[in-house]
Structure 1
Amino acid sequence: MLAPNSTALILVDVQQAFVQWEAQGLRRNNPDAVSNIAKLLTAFRARGMPVFHIRHASTEADSALRPDRPGFEPIEVAREHPGEAVIVKHVNASFIGTDLEEQLRDGGIKTLVIAGITTNHCVETTTRMGGNLGFDARLVSDAYYTFDRIGFDGAPESAETIHAMTLSNLSGEFATIETTDTVLAALISVAA
């Protein structure tokens, strides 16, 4: 059950830099992730439930996520509306160096529905910390994605494998794994 007065949508790093990476040829998983993020955002807004937009402002000199670069901007379907919180972070975890936890606690939020980019970086780190801080973290498995990469041993790792392993690592101990459909169904049942 997702109680409307104590549940928030947390959108992690839904930013243009990742669109740029894909345009440069990096392959990702979950092709419907951004449209699922848009569905979640529409549903939360329709019910007047809180939404928190997390943006990564890199301090790395050559990062596409620097605040003075176009990659810092949100993907348009996830742009904030007036009154929605925008939290700017400089590290992977959305709770470090920000007032996110304070805003959530002040708002009576107990459940976090988490989506965004990328699975094995800021989404995973934010989910782990949210669970460790005592929030009921709900990770929406089809509303975030990652990219293929080369592993520590030099072997290629697919985005699908990285995504699945992240889900396995987080399931149960740090978060409940959801889908866009299960979250939307829970929101409909609350409204009924």
Structure 2
Amino acid sequence: MESLEIEANAALVVIDVQKGFDDAGFWGRRDNPDAEGNIAALIDRWQESGRPVVFVRHDSVREGSPLEAGSEGNAFKDFVEERRGKGRGPELLVTKQVNSAFYGQPSLDVWLTGEDVAQIVVVGIQTNMCNETTARMGGNLGYDVVFALDAMHTFDLAGPFGWTATAEELTRATAVSLHGGQFARVVTTQDVLKGAARAGRS
């Protein structure tokens, strides 16, 4: 892959990094134990460089959901909450009840347009759910979408016809679909950090 260029005003979109996703009894087995550390590193780099950061929270309306609005699980994980409001650049909180961050409040698209942002970096939970949906919609809306695959995770999942897929299989399928379908560029956290550092020196 050619060297990744991260624009000076690229927005980091941190999706649904909430305490409710720690409920293994509800969600099952997850992949990528390094996700949280990589998300934290990207938030730190964005805040240090004054780039815009968007924190997205899923306010579930499904009774009993670990992410149910008003519940303890609805809150951001501590490492995210303690970083909110600490950056030098613009920051936005988006709340949503569906998969795409572009269908939340306030409007992510309107805010990004107002900040003259053309490139977004997607991280968070879950890889094949809200992250993938947001990336696809971002691509459809004309954004240059960067998908930091190791700064997110997902869970094993059961589907139709008795089929099941592991978290790793779902992650790989998401990566192939997004990258191969040209919805997004699927990269690593280190790719993003290096690209951001190059922009900072230019």
Shift of 1:25: 7.5
Contact 2:146–2:184 (Cα < 8 Å) also in 1: yes
Q: Distance in 2 between matches of 1:75 and 1:179?
A: 22
Equivalent residue for 1:35?
37
1:137 maps to 2:145: yes
Structure 2 CA distance for partners of 1:61 and 1:23, relative to 1, 3 Å: closer
Q: Structure 1 vs Structure 2: percent identity of aligned residues? A: 36
Shift of 1:136: 0.2
Residue 187 (structure 2) aligned to one of 173, 178, 183: 178
Q: Distance in 2 between matches of 1:40 and 1:190?
A: 15
Cα-Cα RMSD? 1.4
Equivalent residue for 2:12?
9
Equivalent residue for 1:120?
128
Matched to 2:12, the amino acid is L
Residue 3 of structure 1 aligns to a residue in which SS?
A: coil
Equivalent residue for 2:198?
189
Residue 41 of structure 2 aligns to a residue in which SS?
A: helix
Matched to 1:19, the amino acid is D
Unmatched 5+ residue regions in structure 2? none
Matched to 1:121, the amino acid is M
Equivalent residue for 1:89?
96
Structure 2 CA distance for partners of 1:97 and 1:35, relative to 1, 3 Å: closer
1:61-117, Cα deviation, whole Å (9 max, x unpaired): 121111210111001111222662110001111111431100000000000000000
Residue 102 of structure 2 aligns to a residue in which SS?
A: coil
Q: Distance in 2 between matches of 1:97 and 1:140?
A: 21
Shift of 1:23: 6.3
Shift of 1:156: 2.7
Q: Distance in 2 between matches of 1:34 and 1:12?
A: 12
Contact 2:58–2:96 (Cα < 8 Å) also in 1: yes
Contact 2:149–2:187 (Cα < 8 Å) also in 1: yes
Matched to 1:14, the amino acid is V
Residue 74 of structure 1 aligns to a residue in which SS?
A: coil
Equivalent residue for 2:169?
161
Q: Distance in 2 between matches of 1:128 and 1:185?
A: 24
- Kindly tell me the number of residue pairs found equivalent between the two proteins: 190
Q: Distance in 1 between matches of 2:77 and 2:112?
A: 24
